[in-house]
Structure 1
Amino acid sequence: MNEPHHLLTIIKAQQEAIDRLMALVQERKQPEPAKRKERRERPIDWLTISEKERAAAWRGLAAFVESLVFRYGLQMEIQPCWWRHAEAVEELTALWQVRQNAFGENATLGSGMQWQNAFHSSRKRLSTMFGSCRSGHIDSTVTMWMTEDDRKAFDHAVENGL
């Protein structure tokens, strides 16, 4: 009689240990919603990004652009000087972030199609951004937009109530 009681005690102790382990496993499987939000990345804003984040963002964007060019055969649409064109950098950054979101942790079944729609819309805009660079990069950045006289006239207009 003593032996069955001893076996029941052992089984009970093992079941309690299993229950504690299962509780620990469940706790680790379900992260708190607040913790998930903390890990969420913010969109890249090239006008305000810190120097510390800038290099990593450029490397990530460059890897994305290169994979995009080869995956979709965009060698004729996106020129190698893409990084010198502010408009293209902004467009490609937005596209990169849409793709990250579409295939990220919170993606839905429709996210892949949303990515495709965004890509094809962006592709049309990108095709017009490198018109002057077909045979090599041509700098088209504006070095001066308003002359000093234009600025003075603007300041005067603002001071006098436009």
Structure 2
Amino acid sequence: MTSSTSTPGLTRFNTSADSDALAALHEVCASSAWGSRLLAQRPYATAEDLLLAGDAATAELSAEDLAEAMAGHPPIGRPKPGDPTSAREQRGMAGASEELRAEMLELNLAYQERFGHVFLICATGRTGEQMRDALRERITHTPEREREIVRAELGRINRIRLTRLLEEDPA
């Protein structure tokens, strides 16, 4: 997909009914404010324009909006049953040992207790060990530092998912 020209996926997104576009955006990011902002800016001239709008919307999420976005993400190592997106993104945990799975569960629970939300990481392309190591490190952060990292990770996830949305064939 080139970002300098319109693609069939971008045309489809730009011309779909508001309700359909909003539903697709909700699959990308569970924040209703994020989706509404992107919907309001249609049509997009290029895929890059849409990605940049997504970045800007992520940067401007309030604490409540960020919490809503994070609530749409399952814990690492426990993708939503029947959800191909979370299964694909967490593929690095697919072959993890029982020991690694148990450690991730324990670390996820400790993280959630410390920060009050799920550990969010752009898991695409990462191994289970890499995600564990990131979780071990990030659990030591201050809440303020961790909020910055969560926002950056959410931005990466949203970009990957928006790109996939534009590349998917609805047929």
TM-score, length-scaled by structure 2:
0.30
Larger Rg: 1
Q: TM-score, normalised by structure 1?
A: 0.31
